[in-house]
Amino acid sequence: MSFRSGLVAVVGRPNTGKSTLVNALVGTKVAIVSDKPQTTRSDIRAVLTTEDHQIAFTDTPGFHKPRTPLGSRLNQLVDEATQGVDAIVQVVDAAAGVGRGDAFVYERQVIGHQARTFCAVNKLDLLRARREIPQLQAAAALGDWDEIVPISAKTGDGVDTLLRLLVDGLPEGPALFPADQVTDQTLEVRLAELVREKALAVTREEVPHSIAVVVEDIEREEGITRVPATIVVERDSQKGILIGKGGEMLKTIGSRARAEMEPLLGTKVFLELRVKVLKEWQGDPKALQRLGF
């Protein structure tokens, strides 16, 4: 039996469920998930390996009209992620309605590539009977797809169908990553992202967009891992919100993050959280570089 392998870019406007879909496709949590737009800030690779095939999915930031240097950099990551891939999956949100934002993504990120193209019409679990038909028609009107697949990344409905279609079109070739590798993210980045996910879940308005997290110098001892993490925000008022009255907000973020870190690391975790203000970092090229963007 011949082995097949390939690269698949997953694109779409913000908040369509790209990260949830990538996690469902590979069967494990690789990308963090939240209901806040622009949660994904890097081109994360998630790798699925079986006996006869390997697919490296690239989860990309939501493609949008940027208002900051950070937004421009995130769009650039999407541009880079769609180059030289074997397939592009554009995820659209059927519950919110397929519309102009999806057409913008299709025109900028799907047209003109040699790759096979798929439209994953997501969040069908939020629609009542027959409401999916207009959304599937709207998806078809976006462009010339190889396949349109109705799915719910949250419940898993249709995900196996999408995966089978992707595998069927893979070229023959060797594995691109070691069989036991599920992501190209460093451990430090994965841990930082878990902290950011929990911080996003408890904050609102402009605060989630202003949060970045840095983890450095993990220390492993017998039975315990020390994880020093710095949460970066743009203003003193945001720092106060994240710490909370009597430090309660920070404790909540820490306990929720630690609960996911411990199974990942296989040890108890001592998570040291601190909050730092880096003024208007989203618009500062030097700050963006320091934070790894």
Residue range 58-72, pLDDT digits in tens: 998 888 878 788 888
The pLDDT, as a whole number, for residue 293 is: 83
Q: Which amino acid does the sequence have at 151?
A: I
Domains, in order of start, for the chain? 4-168 (3.40.50.300), 187-290 (3.30.300.20)
Q: Residue 88 and residue 286: Cα distance in Å, rounded? A: 32
SS3 content of the chain, % helix, strand, coil (to 5): 40, 25, 40
Average pLDDT, the chain: 93
3 contacts: CB under 8 Å, gap ≥ 6? 52, 53, 54, 172, 173, 174, 175
The pLDDT, as a whole number, for residue 39 is: 87
CB atoms within 10 A of CB 146: 13
Mean pLDDT of the 68-92 span: 90
* Residue 1 reports pLDDT greater than 70: no
pLDDT tens readout for residues 173-229: 999 999 999 999 999 999 999 999 999 999 998 899 999 999 988 999 989 999 999
Q: Residue 130 and residue 125: Cα distance in Å, rounded? A: 12
The pLDDT, as a whole number, for residue 91 is: 98
